[in-house]
């Protein structure tokens, strides 16, 4: 299958990959193309902007969490009706799982999927030195097809001419254009990265401003021509995203609002594959668990930014507590896990009562507490992952969770040779933890969860008839 595609990679974090990726998505969409966004690595926030712009769920591509065939299938599934794919890289082009290999890097995804790679370089206060930067990135892994450069934070046309001349002379690749530094296209940040698109309100002025700049200073025609020349991605023999059966569906309630919005698109898609009908609700807006729910998924997000509002929702907190304590199958990840605590202490030291499913206290910290990839196995009683099976995901949080019962059974065991440890808490019929698992790393997890929801539903129906 031929798939037009481009990788937007950077020399480092903060170089402007997201701004340029969004600009390209918006510019090509304006030309009438159906454009699909992707993000390399375990990220929820950047994809939220892709999705807000394109109206299509942005998908994550992570070569540490997922196998190559799985990545190819996810890519092909997402692009089946797309004219062009824009893949936004993570950190620098060669930054990933470790310092010695390409595992988990943007470079590995580019090689695996044959994606022409545009290198974004922050050239502020540079001229010919920019050529040395680009040359180093091209030579570290020659198998990566660095097809050209976009210069960011350029001082003006004269500065751009210096940079372009040096790079094209030394590196023999084109410089497709540039963006000048501009306050109106800066994306606001907080402790976990960008402020998610769901909190930004109307984004069209931002996207329109990006398109105007892209059209005036970047050669979009040549970029699209290069994207269209990318080699075909061979179809896989797996069928991870194809529905198993439309029979006997179950209803799973998924919390989605400004406090809870960190979900891999493929996690939700896999639940649907195994027979889930997903209904979204907003605890922040005062929504209770929908009556038809036979399962509950509380994702991550920013409950710390909305702790006071969440705490004021007494009836919502009680409703969620009662559902979980009654045995409703539940997955609570990171922010969802924090919401289930008895108490939540914010950055100012103020305590906010939460759902009280888990007797314990969450305390916000000033520094990052948990960060990085995680491989886990389930502890006894885990409805998703039994002992002996493995799954992969990541942690990224600024809080600690002190569970009152030191003997409370953990949900998972983190598999680290130097320091294996328990993580999270088992719920009456579910799991709660800081770890965000990617279900495609072990597709038996979503299948088991849907089976648990089905068993819960059947048990409720049996009791109702008794």
Instruction: List, in order, residues 6 or more apart from 296 with CB less than 8 Å away.
Output: 252, 253, 255, 289, 320, 323, 324, 328, 329, 330, 331, 430
Q: Quick one: pLDDT at residue 192?
A: 47
Mean pLDDT per 10-residue section of the chain, whose length is 466 residues: 87 93 94 96 91 93 95 93 96 94 96 97 96 98 97 96 98 97 59 50 74 94 96 81 75 96 96 95 97 97 94 97 97 97 96 97 93 94 96 95 94 81 94 97 96 93 70
From 147, 171, 334, 453, the catalytic residue? 334
Sole residue written with tokens 């450069």: 149
H-helix segments, 172-242:
204-217, 220-228
Tell me what pLDDT residue 62 has.
Answer: 97
In order of 62, 181, 368, 371, the CA distances from 97 in angstroms are 10, 31, 18, 12
CA distance 461 to 456: 9
| Predicted local distance difference test score (pLDDT) of residue 186 | 61
Distance between CA atoms of 47 and 51, rounded to whole angstroms? Answer: 6
Confidence (pTM): 0.92
pLDDT given for residue 241 in this prediction: 66
Q: In sequence order, what DSSP letters do the residues of 371-384 get, joined into one string? A: EEEEEEEEPTT-SS
Active site (annotated) includes residue 334: yes
Contact 426, 320 (CB under 8 A): no
Residues 6 or more apart whose CB falls under 8 angstroms from that of 107 comprise 9, 93, 94, 96, 117, 141, 144
* Structural domains of the chain, ranges and CATH numbers in brackets: 5-228 (3.40.50.300), 250-465 (3.40.50.880)
Separation CA 406–CA 24 (nearest Å): 51
- Spell 432-442 as b/e; 16+ CB within 10 A means b: bbbbbbbbbbb
């Amino acid at each position: 299958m031929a798939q037009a595609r481009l990788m937007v990679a950077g020399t480092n974090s903060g170089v402007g990959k997201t701004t340029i990726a969004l600009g390209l998505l918006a510019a090509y969409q304006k030309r009438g193309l159906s454009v699909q966004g992707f993000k390399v690595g375990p990220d929820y926030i950047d994809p939220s902007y892709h999705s807000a712009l394109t109206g299509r769920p942005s998908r994550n591509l992570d070569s540490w969490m997922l196998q190559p065939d799985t990545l190819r299938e996810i890519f092909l599934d997402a692009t089946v009706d797309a004219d062009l794919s824009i893949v936004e890289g993570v950190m620098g082009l060669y930054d990933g799982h470790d310092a010695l290999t390409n595992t988990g890097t943007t470079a590995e995804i580019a090689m695996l999927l044959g994606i022409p790679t545009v290198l974004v370089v922050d050239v502020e206060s540079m001229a010919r030195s920019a050529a040395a930067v680009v040359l180093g990135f091209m030579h570290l892994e020659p198998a990566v097809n660095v097809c050209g450069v976009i210069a960011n934070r350029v001082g003006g046309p004269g500065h751009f001419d210096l940079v372009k001349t040096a790079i094209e002379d030394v590196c023999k690749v084109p410089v497709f254009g540039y963006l000048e530094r501009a306050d109106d296209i800066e994306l606001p940040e907080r402790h976990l990265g960008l402020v998610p698109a769901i909190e930004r309100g109307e984004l069209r002025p931002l996207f329109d401003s990006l398109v105007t700049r892209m059209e005036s200073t970047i050669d979009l025609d040549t970029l699209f021509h290069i994207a269209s020349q990318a080699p075909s991605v061979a179809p896989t023999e797996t069928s991870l995203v194809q529905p198993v059966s439309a029979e006997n569906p179950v209803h799973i309630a998924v919390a989605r609002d400004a406090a809870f919005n960190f979900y891999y698109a493929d996690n939700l898609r896999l639940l649907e594959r195994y027979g889930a009908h997903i209904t979204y609700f907003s605890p922040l807006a005062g929504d209770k668990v929908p009556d038809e729910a036979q399962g509950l998924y509380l994702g991550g997000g920013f409950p710390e930014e909305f702790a006071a509002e969440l705490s004021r929702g007494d009836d919502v907190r009680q409703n969620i507590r009662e559902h979980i304590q009654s045995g409703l199958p539940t997955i609570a990840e990171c922010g969802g896990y924090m919401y289930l605590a008895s108490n939540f202490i914010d950055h100012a030291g103020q305590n906010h009562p939460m759902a009280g499913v888990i007797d314990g206290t969450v305390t916000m910290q000033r520094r990052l507490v948990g960060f990085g990839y995680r491989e886990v196995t389930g502890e006894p009683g885990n409805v998703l992952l039994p002992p002996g099976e493995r799954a992969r995901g990541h942690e990224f949080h600024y809080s600690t969770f002190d569970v009152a019962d030191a003997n409370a059974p953990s949900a998972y065991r983190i598999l680290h040779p130097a320091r294996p440890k328990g993580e999270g808490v088992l719920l009456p019929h579910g799991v709660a933890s800081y770890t965000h698992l990617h279900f495609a790393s072990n597709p038996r997890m979503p299948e088991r969860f849907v089976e648990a929801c089905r068993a819960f539903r059947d048990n409720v129906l049996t009791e109702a008839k008794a």
